[in-house]
Amino acid sequence: MAGERLETSAYEVFEADNKRSDATTAYVITASDKRPLQPSACFLVTDYAGMKKVDVHQRLKTAEFAQYIDRPYFGEIYISRNRFENSNIIFFTETFQIDAWGNLSRPRDLLFTGYMATLGVGDMLPANYGIDTSTPNEYISMNENMAVEQRLSGFLDMTPTEKIYVHQDRTLYMAGETVWFKAYQDFSKNDDPGSAILYVDLKNDANQTVLSGKWSIVDRMAFGQIELPDTLSSGNYQLIAYTRWMQNPGMENYFTREISVISPYAPQMTEEPQQTTEPSVELHLFPEGGHLVGGIPSKVAFKVTDQFGKGLDASGFITDQSGNEVRRFQTQSDGMGVFTFIPEQGSQYFAHLDHFQTTKDLPAVSSTGVAMELRYYNSQIRVVLRHNLDIIHTQYPFYLTIHQKGAVYFTSQVDMTQASSMLDIPVGKLPEGIFTITVYDENLNAWCERLAFACYPQPLQLQLTTGQETVERRKKVTVEIAASDCFGSPQSGNFSLAVVGSDLDGTEQRNNYYSDYFLQSELKGIIENPASYFEEMDSVGQKRLDLLLLTHGWRTYAWDDMMAMVSPDVRYPVETGLGFAGRVELGRRLTGDQVSVTAFLRLDSIQKFLYGQWKRMGHSVLQVIISVIPPRSYSRR
């Protein structure tokens, strides 16, 4: 029967001309007038976005108002192979698409009756029909589900993301010194300059703001300096940078970096003595894809942390509700680890840590669902899907979409007629950085989802030369900087350079632009030594990076909100200018024409004379508005 299904697939009927001479396999295709036709006379087949686009010829069109069970249809054909194998295909559309799996883009637009219907050609094609899985390019599709792509891009248009990265000269200062910095801004809407004001705060260990300032963002950059008071106490401080728009999703989106201050005058801040107790230990569990599904092998990532969110080395074991040990687990890197087991439907599981009085419930086991497993290879990623859905669910199409920041990079219809299926996706088709893999049904309900990182960013190659083998103390040195890509081609850009003593900067612990942009600004929680994730780009580093993705939540909106186009609650609009306002109370003999307001502003890096505009608010009151940074003259949707 499987061979018969292959011979009578929709993909073969619509794509290939019938040139067979064997009477037992040759097809006869006729229209309503019963004249034999070649497939090429019935359909125009063209390549479209990695699929086959099929246009139905007008000669197949039926009489006007033709209906099938009260549903109007465009045309139909009859297919005969022998007197026992007769089929009819009714088209409810003039054009449709078939992917390389043999699946129809909109199954309800075609109806198979007769012999083909008994074989389930319309909705039960073999998962590997007509393609070689070693060449996954055949089923890459950018536009298979345009509704999803439009919803993702439309939602991002309503909720653009903004990032700030700050490069300061060092991380160790003496009280009374100056922190020099340059800030870089990224706004996800390329046609929008984003915020015009940068806020920078300095907070102590008690989370108290000791310094704050505002700087103007021009051409996505800001320059400035922070004067540290000589009365500042010794200790560790957090340098925090953000915009008003970044306040909407919360403080986790701010740029932060720890700096140390040493004061010869002010003593170090002392904390109140704390009682010596055992450190608090927390265990967090994260099933791959989001759920445990009964009877399906499931990968579970975990992270063990102390009360400060730092990873701890630990081991433990899993038990069921009867106390039976199911398996053991061990951390691998920075308190993170992973284990695999097969949860049973109706069972409850618990995780226990050795040497700690810590027990955590595993997520409940779903009776039905889809489990996802991601495997990394040199040139591709493999997504393995396993499910235990009933036949009612598998009759309708499922899709897998890879997306990042509102852009869709890959979409494929997933064959769910088998208990498991896999997709091999070339790395060259994937974006740099973190992206999301979502599996959903035709109603846009997500069944499983996870983050992935397959393409490392290619940093610029920077070369510094002085033309001198030795440098004399307190002598002028001219430094030339050359930037090129990985192929040696010269590149232009905006750069910042700090020259400090090697003992004044903890480069091994601080983040850099790549680790902040591609990791810290995308993930929740504390990432220990973030720059190290870009030092090892081999299979070992890939596994460590994947552990990070599995154990940290992502800073993005929920799939359901994006599909429903739910407008988020925006409390802080994009700040396009800066100003202040006041009031002038007029005397009895003054009029508004006799009043002028002049201000000299000295704030951070801004020093200028400003002139105010006024408008009357009452008989003897004027409101004066002074713009420090005029609002930009562009329209916002």
| DSSP codes of every residue in 414-453 | E--SSSEEEEEEEGGGSPBSEEEEEEEETT--EEEEEEEE
> Can you give 66-129 as a three-state secondary structure string?
CEECCEECCEEEEEEEECCEEEEEEECCCEEEECCCCCECCHHHEEEEEHHHHHCCCCCCCCCC
Q: What distance separates the 2 farthest-apart alpha carbons in the chain?
A: 110
Rounded Cα distance between 606 and 613, Å, is 20
Share above pLDDT 70 across residues of the chain, in percent, rounded to a whole number: 72
pTM for the full predicted model: 0.69
Q: Is there a contact between 88 and 104 (Cβ–Cβ < 8 Å)? A: no
pLDDT tens sequence across 156-196: 888 889 999 999 988 899 999 999 999 999 998 877 889 99
| pLDDT for 6 | 34
For the chain, what percentages of helix, strand and coil (3-state, to nearest 5) are there? 15, 40, 45
The residue ranking higher by pLDDT, 624 or 107, is: 107
* Three state DSSP letters for 347-379: CCEEEEECCCCCEEECCCEECCCEEEEEEECCC
Average pLDDT over residues 301-308: 92
pLDDT digits (tens, 9 = 90+) for 312-367: 999 999 999 999 999 999 999 999 999 999 999 999 999 999 988 889 999 999 99
pLDDT on residue 250: 83
In the block, residue with structure tokens 């396009």 = 576
23 pLDDT tier (thresholds 50, 70, 90): very low
pLDDT band at 384 (very low <50, low <70, confident <90, very high): very high
**The pLDDT of residue 25 is above 50:** no
- For residue 524, give the 3-state DSSP assignment: coil
> Which of the pair, 104 or 173, is modelled with greater confidence?
173
Mean pLDDT of 365-377: 93
pLDDT at residue 122 in the model:
47
pLDDT tens digit sequence for 580-589:
667 666 666 6
Higher pLDDT among residues 218 and 467, named by residue: 218
Which pLDDT score, from 0 to 100, does residue 550 have?
Answer: 94
| The token pair that represents 330 in the structure block | 């061990």
pLDDT for the residue 472:
81
pLDDT at 395 > cutoff 80:
no
> What is the number of alpha carbons within 13 Å of residue 617 lying toward its C-beta?
13
pLDDT at 47 over 60: yes
Q: Which CATH architecture has domain 282-366?
A: Sandwich (2.60)
Q: Which of the residue ranges 280-284, 358-362, 456-460 would you say has the lowest mean pLDDT?
A: 456-460
pLDDT of residue 594: 60
Q: Which CATH number does the domain 162-262 belong to among 1.10.3210.10, 3.40.190.10, 3.40.50.300, 2.60.40.1930?
A: 2.60.40.1930
Find which of 416-425, 557-566, 612-621 is predicted with most confidence, using mean pLDDT.
416-425
Least confident of 89-93, 435-439, 613-617: 613-617
Q: Of how many residues is the chain composed?
A: 637
Pairing label, strands 255-262, 172-174 = parallel
Span of 78-87, 300-309, 613-622 with lowest mean pLDDT: 613-622
Question: Does 282-366 match 162-262 at the fold level?
Answer: yes
Whether 391 shows a pLDDT value over 80: the answer reads: no
Q: Which of 618, 621, 615, 613 is nearest to 596 (CA)?
A: 613
User: Whose structure tokens read 């249809």?
Assistant: 73
- Asked if the model's pLDDT at residue 230 lies above 70, the reply is yes
Give the domain ranges of the chain: 2-131, 162-262, 282-366, 578-629
pLDDT digits (tens, 9 = 90+) for 240-280: 999 999 998 888 889 999 999 998 876 665 555 555 556 68
Q: What is the mean pLDDT of residues 569-585?
A: 77
Residues 563 and 154: their CA atoms lie apart, in Å, by 10
- DSSP-assigned letters across all residues of 481-506: EEEE-TTS-B-----------GGG--
pLDDT confidence of residue 457: 85
Determine the Cα–Cα distance for residues 240 and 563; give it in Å rounded to an integer.
33
**CA within 13 Å, CB half, 469:** 0
Which residue would you say has higher pLDDT here, 151 or 36? 151
Q: Which strands sit side by side in the sheet containing 298-305, from one edge to the other?
A: 282-287, 298-305, 336-341
Place of tokens 């949707």: 637
DSSP state of 159: S
